[in-house]
Amino acid sequence: MKSYINEMGVIDVSGKKHPVFLKPGLNVITGKSSTGKSALIEIFDYCFASSEYTVPKGVITEVALIYYVCLSIEKRTVVLARSTRSPAKGFFKELESYSKNLVSHDFFDSGHYIPIAAFKKHVTGLFLDLDDVDESINAKQMRGKKASTPSIRSFVSFMLQHQNLVANKHALFYRFDEKEKRDQVIEHSKVFLGLVDQDYFLLSQEKEQVSTELRRALRENDVSERVKEAQKRKVEPMLTQLYLAMGVENNFSITLDEVLRHPNSAMDRIEQSISFEDINLQSNAIANKFNELNMDLASKTSQLRSLQRKANSIKKSISDEKELSERMSEISPQDSVDIAYSVCPFCHTSHEQLKESAINLKKAIDKISNNAQHASPLRAKLQSSLSEVKQSISDLMVEISKLQEQIQSLEDSEEELADRKSLQENFLKTKYRLFVTLETLGTTDDSSLEEKITELRGSLADIDRKLAKYDYNQGMRKANRAVNKHMREIGRNFDFEDSYQPINLKFSFETFDLYHEAPDGDKIFLRSMGSGANWLYSHLTLFLALHKYFASLGKKCSIPSILFIDQPTQVYFPSFKRDTGEEFDRKSIERMEARIESDDSADEDIKSVENLFSQLSIYCNSNMDEFGFSPQLIVTDHADDLALSNGVDFESLVNNNRWRKRGLIHPLPNNL
């Protein structure tokens, strides 16, 4: 997100302001040791709601009353501040516009100080409109609280390269030494890159709810189907017997499904439409049905016998295979075969048949032994087949039992008719036995349940269509490709060692790993690259590429386009900490470094430093040309009076932020 710092600084205990004025693009704050350069990154971090107070102890911490940062974010301007007297609160105030004289001691009225938790939410709200990042309500309920939401504290991992981090071979990102914070940044990256928003998480929760409700409805429907099947098995023979008693074989006026769906209505209709007078006395319906059932029973009984024989055969095969396997496991294959030759006593001719037979015997033994050792897959297939056959037998027995019940019911009805000699009495008894059964049934009208299932499936399909636009995995892959492309372009201009030329750095948003991919495909991670210069340029290449990609996303990316780089030249001049002069003297570098080499060594290092700042300047200018704005780079260092290759005046980058005759706190309060 297009952001930059207009001003940051300290209000001391006497009420005096000590500001640092910055502009978009590249800013260089240069000066000698112990002037407060490295404190700026800590002041910014503290004003960005850090729970830790890490401003280096010294003059600044002794006199500071308020630390503040004035930020422009898109078209909004805010001042964030922390008071040393109220560390549990933060100051948040939005401005109509910015001017250099706006911030003073009186600006920080007490009414704009709020508890740090609320302060963090207010600042996060400048960049993110997100309250709930749980994709699962069930997981949230199990956890007992909402998942950690993205906040400005995750942003700083992309924004701050401290002095002890900028050339570190073991760490790339600020705060990643804490696994929980590292995992949060990685998890929230899809949010920061604009690949998902609040709707995505709410849709994910809704999908879980609808899916759960659909599974519940399907289970309920399954239970309903089993109930219907049991009722059908109970009612069908009685209804069939009633129609058969009337001499009707087909075209039943009231179907079984209608009876099961509306039992009470069915009884009324049967009472009105089916009477003794409607009986067809000449019909052969019962005899025909009886023959049909018996033929069906015979067929299914034959199938049952066949399946039972098949099951027994499989059981026998499994048993034989197991026995053979146990026996063969006791046979150890021979490594060699001793053969006695047969020689004719008269002509002394030897015969080879015995040798060939012995070799063939050994091969046969080895083959059988090998088959026995690999018998498990065969046994598994047999056991699987047996299970399938047993299930078929079970299903067939249910069908046979149902047929037997229907046959027995017809036989009982015929016997009753023969005993009573009354067709009317038999018809009435059959009808009222059906009515008694129907009265015990509950309604199985599940049309509303079916409608609910259809509705839920429609809702689920609609949610899936909406979620389809959030293909953040593809978005992550696209982001990886873009950042890797930017790193190739940026990295080739830095002074990596020859063994890593051309540099081919690769980064993944899924793991946040960085490595150089050699021409042979070998992955060389930062920790194995060697040389502080390689580590420095890897850090710079990655973070410049990241911020270029963030800039290309515009408002979609919520990460502020601000990058602090603290003391990058330390890899060339580690003794800059002894730089205490009021002027930056190139000739003093060799003395400070206690070099014993030629002057050329120091000159080469200066050239690398000048190239570093030149590339930072070129980077900002190219971003300005491409996107209409540039990420704001704030570099704090000792280096000064450098000649940049792109012709930019180094003094314009320093912009009056040279601290050799003064420091951040200037002038000092009278009591110091």
- Asked if residue 119 and residue 42 are part of one domain, the reply reads yes
Comparing 506 with 136, the larger pLDDT belongs to: 506
pLDDT over 80 (residue 217): yes
Per-residue confidence (pLDDT) for residue 561, from 0 to 100: 96
Per-residue confidence (pLDDT) for residue 292, from 0 to 100: 76
pLDDT over 90 (residue 235): no
Domain boundary pick from 559, 594, 623: 559
Q: How confident is the model at residue 596 (pLDDT cuts 50, 70, 90)?
A: very low
Integer Cα distance of 201 and 190 in angstroms: 12
Beta bridge partners of 21: 7
Query: Quick one: 507 exposed, middle or buried, by C-beta within 10 A (0-12, 13-18, 19+)?
Result: buried
Q: Dig out the tokens for 342 from the structure.
A: 């047969």
Integer Cα distance of 355 and 344 in angstroms: 16
Query: Is 306:347 a contact under the CB 8 Å cutoff?
Result: no
Per-residue confidence (pLDDT) for residue 283, from 0 to 100: 59
Angle at 233 between CA 227 and CA 235, to 5 degrees: 100
- When mean pLDDT is compared across 22-36, 347-361, 428-442, 646-660, the lowest value belongs to 347-361
Per-residue confidence (pLDDT) for residue 632, from 0 to 100: 97
> Tens digit of pLDDT for each residue in 509-531?
999 999 999 999 999 999 999 88
- 576 occurs within a structural domain: yes
Q: How many CB atoms lie within 10 A of CB 464?
A: 11
- Asked if residue 507 and residue 429 are part of one domain, the reply reads no
- 328 occurs within a structural domain: no
> Tens digit of pLDDT for each residue in 431-463?
767 777 777 665 555 667 888 899 999 999 999
pLDDT over 90 (residue 635): yes
3-state helix, strand and coil shares in percent for the chain, rounded to the nearest 5? 55, 10, 30
- Asked if residue 399 and residue 488 are part of one domain, the reply reads no
- Asked if residue 405 and residue 287 are part of one domain, the reply reads yes
Would you put residue 283 in left (φ > 0), alpha (ψ -120 to 50) or beta?
A: beta
- When mean pLDDT is compared across 153-167, 175-189, 401-415, the lowest value belongs to 401-415
Integer Cα distance of 59 and 67 in angstroms: 14
Contacts of 535 (CB under 8 A, 6+ apart): 167, 168, 169, 526, 529, 571
Work out the average pLDDT over 318-340.
66
Per-residue confidence (pLDDT) for residue 136, from 0 to 100: 67
- When mean pLDDT is compared across 147-156, 173-182, 214-223, 440-449, the lowest value belongs to 440-449
Beta bridge partners of 515: 506, 525
Helix (H, G, I), strand (E, B) or coil at 596: coil
Domain boundary pick from 541, 559, 577: 559
Per the listing, tokens 């048949």 go with 353
Q: How confident is the model at residue 286 (pLDDT cuts 50, 70, 90)?
A: low
- Indicate the pTM of the whole model: 0.69
Query: Is 221:450 a contact under the CB 8 Å cutoff?
Result: yes
Q: How confident is the model at residue 284 (pLDDT cuts 50, 70, 90)?
A: low
In Å, what is the CA distance from 526 to each residue of 169, 170, 428, 437, 549? 6, 7, 93, 80, 22
Per-residue confidence (pLDDT) for residue 285, from 0 to 100: 63
Comparing 357 with 614, the larger pLDDT belongs to: 614
Which of 95, 158, 90 lies closest to 120, judged by CA?
A: 90
With the CA atoms of 455, 458, 463 and 464 taken in that order, what torsion angle do they form, in degrees rounded to the nearest 10?
140
In Å, what is the CA distance from 538 to each residue of 165, 305, 615? 12, 77, 14
* Start-end of H helices in 421-531: 423-439, 447-468, 472-491
pLDDT over 70 (residue 590): no
Question: Mean pLDDT in the chain?
Answer: 83
Helix (H, G, I), strand (E, B) or coil at 348: coil
Per-residue confidence (pLDDT) for residue 103, from 0 to 100: 94
- Asked if residue 570 and residue 555 are part of one domain, the reply reads no
Query: Is 609:642 a contact under the CB 8 Å cutoff?
Result: yes
Q: How confident is the model at residue 141 (pLDDT cuts 50, 70, 90)?
A: low
- 347 occurs within a structural domain: no
Range with top average pLDDT, 96-105, 392-401, 417-426: 96-105
- Asked if residue 298 and residue 260 are part of one domain, the reply reads yes
- 15 occurs within a structural domain: yes
- 344 occurs within a structural domain: no
> Tens digit of pLDDT for each residue in 288-323?
777 877 898 899 899 999 999 998 988 888 888 777
**H or E stretch covering 80:** strand 76-83
Query: Is 457:276 a contact under the CB 8 Å cutoff?
Result: no
Which of 149, 156, 154, 70 lies closest to 108, judged by CA?
A: 70
DSSP state of 34: T
Instruction: For residue 49, give the CATH number of its domain.
Output: 3.40.50
Strands, sheet with 505-507, edge to edge from the N-terminal-most edge strand: 505-507, 514-517, 523-525
Q: How many CB atoms lie within 10 A of CB 317?
A: 15
Q: How many domains does the chain have?
A: 3
- 350 occurs within a structural domain: no
- Asked if residue 266 and residue 192 are part of one domain, the reply reads no
- Asked if residue 502 and residue 552 are part of one domain, the reply reads yes
Work out the average pLDDT over 319-342.
65
* Rg of the chain over all Cα atoms, to the nearest angstrom: 44
Per-residue confidence (pLDDT) for residue 293, from 0 to 100: 78
- 547 occurs within a structural domain: yes
* Cα first-last separation, the chain: 41
pLDDT over 80 (residue 79): yes
- Asked if residue 573 and residue 554 are part of one domain, the reply reads no
pLDDT over 80 (residue 163): yes
Per-residue confidence (pLDDT) for residue 49, from 0 to 100: 94
Angle at 624 between CA 618 and CA 627, to 5 degrees: 130
Which of 576, 509, 565, 511 lies closest to 541, judged by CA?
A: 565
Q: Dig out the tokens for 338 from the structure.
A: 């001793």
- When mean pLDDT is compared across 55-69, 131-145, 471-485, 636-650, the lowest value belongs to 131-145
Q: What is the residue range of 616's domain?
A: 1-127+565-585+612-672
pLDDT over 70 (residue 657): yes
Contacts of 285 (CB under 8 A, 6+ apart): 243, 244, 246, 247, 248, 249
- Asked if residue 657 and residue 511 are part of one domain, the reply reads no
DSSP secondary structure string, 316-366? Answer: HHHHHHHHHHHHHTTPPPPS----PPEE-TTT--EE-HHHHHHHHHHHHHH
**H or E stretch covering 290:** helix 285-328
Largest CA distance in the chain: 133
pLDDT over 70 (residue 275): no
- Asked if residue 287 and residue 423 are part of one domain, the reply reads yes
Q: Dig out the tokens for 209 from the structure.
A: 């709810």
**H or E stretch covering 171:** none
- 182 occurs within a structural domain: yes
Per-residue confidence (pLDDT) for residue 72, from 0 to 100: 95
- Asked if residue 289 and residue 244 are part of one domain, the reply reads yes
